[in-house]
Amino acid sequence: MLTRGDAVPHFHVTSVDQRDISYATIWQHRSLVLVALGDSESKAGRAYAEAVMALASRFAAHDAECIVTRDAVDGVAAPAVLVADRWGEIVHLATAASVDGLPPPGDLLDWTHYVQMRCPECEGEAR
């Protein structure tokens, strides 16, 4: 399973809004917010997906692409959310037993803001 600091594997999924997405088109261009709902189509899952997708323009303002999918992604145990920088480094990863345990969508927006504002050079000096 993936953890913070790992690289997001390249994947190809269909989003819940029926977009065909290849991570290769995002990698090195924008940050990533990936919501992996798993194969269940629960009421809570639909509500969470709608709440996250309602923030799409705000994610875009932070130079991040938001993908909500029910497809499997290697290394990601659904339900889960991850936020990665443009180079694919995972900066936040949260898994839960059910969708109800995932972080609020607004928290994901905060993580994209953090990714946009952080200074990789400064972090390298601190290590």
DSSP state string for 31-96: EEEEEE--S---HHHHHHHHHHHTTHHHHHHTTEEEEEESS-BTTB-SSEEEEE-TT-BEEEEEE-
Q: What is the largest CA-CA distance in the chain?
A: 46
CATH number at residue 98: 3.40.30.10
pTM beyond 0.85, yes or no: yes
21 membership: H or E segment, kind and range: strand 20-22
Instruction: Please answer whether residues 94 and 102 qualify as being in contact, where contact means their C-beta atoms are separated by less than 8 angstroms.
Output: yes
For the chain, give the number of residues: 127
Residue 76 lies in a domain: yes
Into how many domains does the chain fold?
1
Name the residue range of residue 56's domain. 12-119
Specify the higher pLDDT residue, 104 or 118: 104
Average pLDDT, the chain: 93
| Model confidence band, residue 119 (pLDDT cutoffs 50, 70, 90) | confident
